Amino acid sequence: MNESAQSVSARRQTYSTGTPWEKSVGYSRAVRVGNLVFVAGTTASDERGETVAVGSAYDQTVFVLTKIERALRAVGAGLSDVVRTRMFVTDIDDWPAVGQAHGEVFAKIRPVATLVEVSRLVNPDHLVEIEVDAVCQQA
């Protein structure tokens, strides 16, 4: 995986996983400014852009949350710093599986959370996309 954390300025830090879209679209997986961290909408795509766990909303959610945790750590944050999650699913009937995986990670942390159905995601094999916001104890 081509992972990099780079300091753009003393107050802004970015992290990229090296997926093809980050460079071509012009975004970072995570941005930290002071004690605030924002993680972009994250799907079950590996570093080559291939979908992981096709057909399983639960397994895709687990993969996505692991990917998000890696991004948080790269900018000096952790899952315990997460204050908001936003989950987008292509089939609202998948909410129990997505919710189960989310609960396995966040049951004790208890961030505010949103889960909504969307008509589709960029890749038809993606069943869930998640973004998070975090507030770190130290800037």
Residues with Cβ within 8 Å of 19's Cβ and at least 6 positions away in sequence, in order, are 29, 45, 47, 49
Full domain range(s) for residue 93: 4-135
pLDDT in tens, 60-71: 999 999 999 999
* DSSP code at position 59: H
Residue 28, phi-psi category: left (phi > 0), alpha (psi -120 to 50), beta (remainder): beta
pLDDT value, residue 41: 96
Q: 37 by DSSP, 3-state: which?
A: strand
Q: Look at the chain and report how many structural domains it folds into.
A: 1
pLDDT value, residue 2: 43
* DSSP code at position 45: B
User: What is the total residue count of the chain?
Assistant: 139
pLDDT in tens, 4-62: 555 445 589 999 987 778 888 999 999 999 999 999 999 999 888 899 999 999 999 99
Provide the residue type at 45 as one letter.
Answer: S
CA angle, 129 then 25 then 105, to 5°: 25
Tell me the CATH number at 64. Answer: 3.30.1330.40
